[in-house]
Structure 1
Amino acid sequence: MLFSGFALQRRLLVAVLAGLLVAIPAVIASAQPAPITRDIAGSKDHPLVPRYEGSLIIGYKTDRFAEVDIPMGPSVNPGVEKRRFERVDAAEGARTRLLYVAPPKRTSLEVMRNYKEALLADGFKTLFECSRDTCGDSIELPFLEFNPSRQLTDSQVTEFAFSANVVDQRLLVVKLDRPQGPVHVIVFTAHQDNVANPTAGGRVAVFVDVVESGTMEKRMVTVQAPEMAMNLGRDGKQAIYGIYFDFDKADIKPESKPQLEEMAKLLQANPGLKVYIAGHTDNQGALDYNVGLSQRRAEAVVRALAMQYGIAAARLTARGLGPLAPVTSNATEDGRAKNRRVELVQQ
C-alpha cells in the first residue's frame, strides 16, 4: 500500500512536470512582443505629408495648439545632458507628431530622399538638412531624449524608439508658405534598434513633426476695464490672456494692443490702484528658466503701460512666477494654454 501510494505520487509529479514543460514555452512565447503588422488604432497620415510606402505608424499624437522648436543647425554638446541644437527657430500652431517604422532592408538615405522629393514637389522649401556627422553630436538626443515636447511616451515602443545602435541619422526641415499661415515639417530618419520591441528595431524609424501656424482657436477675448475692476474688487486678481509674446521671448506682439489699452483704462480710472503684474508659464522646460522668462515678460508689460500709456511705474510691480501658480493641470495643451498668462493682482 505504501509502495502504491509512492508510485501514485511519482506519477502525479511526472505529470505536473510534463505539464510545466509544455506550458513554459507557451508562456515565454506569449511574453514576446507582438510583431508590428498594422498602424496603431486612431492614427492617420498628415494630409500634407505622405508616408514612405510600406511604413507603419507606431506613434501618433496631435495638439490643437503648441509651441515647437525648429532645429536650424547641428547638435552640440556643451556638457552632460545638455545637448542642444546650435540654432533653433520657433513655430506655434496645430501640431501632429508621427512615428513610423519603415519596411526592413531600407536605408535611411533611401527613406529620407523619398520624403524630400515628395515634400519639395508639393511646394515646400528646405530650411535645414543634415546627415551623419554633419548633424553634429548624437542628434537623436536633443531631438528626442532631451526634448520632452517631441518625445512620444504613450507606450514603451514609442518611448524607446531610437534607443540603441542609432546610425545614419538624417534630418530635414522644410516650410510651406500659405495665406492662412506657414507649415513647418521636420523629418528625422535613422537606422535604429528598439529595446522595448525588437520587431520595431533593426530597421529605419521615421519621426515626422508637423506644425501648422495660424490655426489657434481665438477663444480668449479681451477683458474690458469695468470687468477687470469688478474682478479685482471681488477676487483681488484678474487673469489676462490677451497679451501675446513670441515663443521663448519677452517681446510683446502688436496684437496685444487692445488688452493693454483696457489695462491702461482701468489704471487711469482708478488712480489709487497699485497692482502686481504677474507673469505665468506652463511647466514645459526648466523651472529657473521659466521663472526668468515670466519675470522678463511681466517687466515688458510694466514698461508698455508706463511708456505707452503714462501709467506711473511706481504703481506697477513685476513678478515672474513661472509654472508655480497654475490655474489648471499642465497635462494637456488646453491646460498649458490656460496656465500661460499675465495676471493683475491688487497690492
Structure 2
Amino acid sequence: MRPVEITIFWLTRAVAAALFAAATGIGAAHARDADGCVDHPAIERYPDSVLEWCKNDNYLPYSVPVGPVAGYRTIGEYEEIEGRVTRNFYSLKTGRTHPEVWKNYKDALVAAGFDIIAEGMFPERNVKGDIGGGSWQGVYYAKNPWGENGPVDKLVAGTSSSGGTGAVFGKKDRADDTIYVLVSLEQHSSEEVATLITVVETKPAETGLVVANAEAMGKDIEELGRTVLDGLFFDHDKATLTAESKPALDEIAKFLASTEKGFYVVGHTDSVGTFAYNQKLSADRAMAVRAALLQDYGVASDRLEAHGVGPLVPVFSNGTDGGKAKNRRVELVEK
C-alpha cells in the first residue's frame, strides 16, 4: 500500500484520526505508545509508527542548526530560539525506508505552509557533516540534549545507524508565535526507521515568578560561589527598587544573617543601549540593592561591595526577549 501523506492539516483532527485509523490501521500502533505520550497537534506521525518516548518542556532555549558542520563538534549557523519544546521519538518497523519517511514529512510540512529552513537526506550510512548527515546529527543532538534515558538514546549510540540519515526542518509564523517542526531520522536497522520530531513553539520566558530563597542561595554559594537574586524589580531604565522587591530582600537578608562571609553585589544588564550606559545602570542597581540591605536590614557595610559589569556576562543570548530578561539580573558573588 502506498504511504499516505503524514499530515492532514486542512482537515479537523477528528476526521484526520478517523481516516488514518481506517486506511492504515494506525490505531494498533497508537495502542503500543508509551504512557502519557501523544502526537503534537502540528504534525501527524508516519502511519504505523509507534511513539516510544516523549519529553515536554514548558520553556527551554533551543538551538536550531541551519548550516553544516564547520569544525570539531561545531555547526556553523544556528537559529537561537526559546519556548515550549515537545520531543517525540517514533519507531517504524514495517519495511518502509527512511527516504520514504523523510519525503512524506517534507511534503507534509510544505503543504501546511511551513518554510523549509534546513534539509538533507543521505540514503547510505555516512559520517557527513552536511545537513542531515550522520556527524551533523551527532552535533545537533549534543547541542540540544534531551536529558532523560529511554528508547530515544538509540539515536546517539556509538554505531546508531546501520543505514542512511536525514533531517528536514520547517518554520511557520502564527498569530501569536512562530512554530518550528524539526524532523531528524535514521535507518536504524534494516527493519527499523527511527525518527525524532521536535516541535518548538516560541515565546518569551515568564519572569517574576521566582523569589530568592535563603536556603537555595546558600547552596548556590557553596557550589558555585555566586547566586542570582531572583525577585528584584526596578523601575524601567532606573535603579529604583520597587515595592515588589521586598519579599526577595527579606530572603537575601535572611541568608546574610546565616553567614559571616562578605560578598560582591554585582549588577548585570542586557545588550540594548551603549556599553557605558549599561555599565552605569548595572552599577547603580547593585548599589541600590546594597543600600537597601544596609539601611533596612542592618547588614554591616564592610560585608557588601557593589559593582556593575553591564552586558559582559550574559547567561543567555541577547537575541531574544527571554534571553534579555534573564540577563538583566543582580547576583551575590562570594569574596
**Normalised by the shorter chain, which TM-score bucket?**
0.5 to 0.7
User: Which residue identity lines up with residue 183 of structure 1 in the other structure?
Assistant: I
Contact 2:65 2:75 in 1 (8 A): yes
**CA displacement at 1:108 relative to structure 2:** 1.1
Which deviates the most, 84-93 or 310-319? Answer: 310-319
- The aligned counterpart of 1:125 is 115
SS in 1 for 2:135: coil
Distance 1:93 1:298 in 2: 21
Aligned pair 1:177/2:173, yes or no? Answer: yes
* TM-score where L is the length of structure 1: 0.55
Distance 2:45 2:175 in 1: 25
Which runs of 5 or more residues in structure 2 are unaligned? 1-29, 123-127, 213-226, 243-262, 288-305, 316-324
- SS of the equivalent of 1:129 reads strand
The corresponding residue for 1:317 is 308
219 and 123 in structure 1: CA distance in 2 versus 1, 3 angstrom threshold? farther
Larger radius of gyration: 1
Question: Does the CA contact (< 8 Å) of 2:62 and 2:81 recur in 1?
Answer: yes
Q: Is residue 142 from structure 1 mapped to residue 139 from structure 2 by the alignment? A: yes
Structure 1 residues not aligned, in runs of 5+: 1-35, 194-200, 224-236, 244-257, 268-273, 280-295, 324-337
Q: Output the amino acid matched with 2:93.
A: P
Query: For the Cα contact (< 8 Å) 1:220–1:242, is it kept in 2?
Result: no
Q: 2:75 aligns with which of 85, 106, 114?
A: 85
Question: Which residue does the alignment assign to 1:61?
Answer: 55
Pick the aligned partner of 1:261 from 216, 231, 237. 237
Q: Name 1:151's counterpart in structure 2.
A: 146
SS in 1 for 2:118: strand
- The structure 1 residue matched to 2:192, chosen from 192, 203, 210, is 203
Listed one character per residue, the Cα deviations across residues 100-124 of structure 1 (whole Å, up to 9, x for unaligned) are: 0123311111101111111221121
Distance 1:310 1:41 in 2: 51
* 8 Å CA contact retained: 1:275, 1:317: no
* One-letter code aligned to 1:93: G
- Aligned-residue offset at 1:261: 2.9
Q: Residue 300 of structure 1: CA displacement?
A: 8.8
Distance 1:123 1:345 in 2: 48
Distance between the aligned counterparts of 2:285 and 2:49, measured in 1?
Answer: 62
Query: 1:1-347 maps to which residues of 2 (within 5 A)?
Result: 38-78=32-72, 83-132=73-122, 133=128, 134-135=130-131, 138-144=135-141, 146-147=142-143, 149-151=144-146, 153-155=148-150, 157-163=151-157, 164=159, 166=161, 167-193=163-189, 202-214=191-203, 216-217=205-206, 219-220=208-209, 239-240=229-230, 260-262=236-238, 264-266=239-241, 276-277=265-266, 303-306=276-279, 311=284, 316-318=307-309, 342-345=329-332
Contact 1:112/1:189 (8 A) holds in 2: yes
Equivalent pair of 1:92/1:211 in contact (CA under 8 Å):
yes
CA RMSD, Structure 1 to Structure 2 (Å): 4.4
Instruction: Pick closer, same or farther for the CA change 1:125–1:139 going to 2, 3 Å.
Output: same
Distance 1:168 1:189, change over 3 A: same
- Contact kept, 8 Å, 1:152 with 1:159, in 2: the verdict is no
Percent of matched pairs sharing the same residue: 22
Of 67-76 and 201-210, more deviation after overlay is shown by: 201-210
The TM-score normalised by the length of structure 2 is 0.57
Cα pair 2:270 2:327 within 8 Å, conserved: no
Q: CA deviation at 1:152?
A: 5.5
Secondary structure, aligned partner of 1:192: strand
Q: CA separation in 2, counterparts of 1:313 and 1:154? A: 42
Aligned CA distance change for structure 1 residues 58 and 76 (closer, same or farther; 3 Å): farther
Aligned length: 235
Q: State the distance in 1 between where 2:82 and 2:285 align.
A: 34
Local SS of the residue matching 1:99:
strand
The one-letter code sitting in structure 2 at the alignment partner of 1:138 is: S
What SS class does the counterpart of residue 43 from structure 1 fall into?
A: coil
